[in-house]
Amino acid sequence: MGTWGHGDRGHGVGDMAAMGRWGWRSGDGAVGTNIVTLDPPWMPVFVWERVTLTCHGPGAPVPTRWFEGDRLLKLAESDRLQVSRTRRGSSSYRCQRHGAATSRVHWCILVQRDPRAHPRPSLADWLVLQVPAQALLEGDTPWLRCQGWGDAKVTRVRFYREQEELGGPTRENDSLLAGWQVSAPVAVTPEGAPLTLSCLSRLSPLRP
């Protein structure tokens, strides 16, 4: 695995002292769980491409703790963190705003290397197939995107699933997939007296 480049590597005595001063909570008594999002909201990304992680949810946005794996990466005076990858590989990130529980792991997966480093790069080296950088829930209609190195313009893209083309070439570089439904429909046939039905739902904790 490679490393991410950022402005402040690791943490020092000052960060540890600040953590003690702010009284971070590990879970008990915390007001809720934070969520990490990625901007641009796509993955995987190219090597050297700069992305911004944002910590959403309850708690005060300043300061924010950022973790890479199980290691405290930075105690930041912002709920945003800019990172860029210098090598192929993957890294997991979590965040914690003051007064809230630590977020679930957010994976930033990077598989595409710098095509300029290849002695004879093919067309595939300059393109990467991307999916939304968020949890997909049942019924979602996710987009696929074909992204070129250095934001190069990509048109007339064909998408395939198991060697079968999906809908022909597109004018742009993205394609919308059909939603995935696994819950069985429920049929209710009331008899006798009038019946009132209600449905209680909650927002997914995986969405900001």
Longest CA span, the chain? 77
The pTM of the full predicted model, rounded to 2 decimals, is: 0.67
**Eight-state DSSP code of residue 85:** E
pLDDT at 55: 92
Q: Looking at the structure, give the CATH architecture of the domain made up of residues 4-176.
A: Sandwich (2.60)
Tokens linked to 88: 């192929």
| pLDDT surpasses 80 at 14 | no
Per DSSP, helices labelled H in the chain are 13-22
AA letter at 196:
T
AA letter at 68:
E
pLDDT at 64: 92
| pLDDT surpasses 70 at 103 | yes
pLDDT at 163: 85
CB 73 within 8 A of CB 11: yes
| pLDDT surpasses 90 at 80 | yes
| pLDDT surpasses 90 at 53 | yes
Distance CA 10, CA 86 (A): 17
- Return the residue matching tokens 């997991």: 92
- Per-residue pLDDT of 32-51, as tens digits, reads 788 898 999 888 888 888 89
CB 125 within 8 A of CB 115: yes
pLDDT at 46: 85
- Tell the burial category of 130 from Cβ atoms under 10 Å away from its Cβ (0-12, 13-18, 19+): buried
- Enumerate the domain spans of the chain: 4-176
Question: What helix, strand, coil percent values describe the chain, rounded to 5?
Answer: 10, 35, 55
Strand partners, 53: 38, 81
HEC string for 169-202: CECCCEEECCCCCCCCCCCCCCCCCCCCCCCCCC
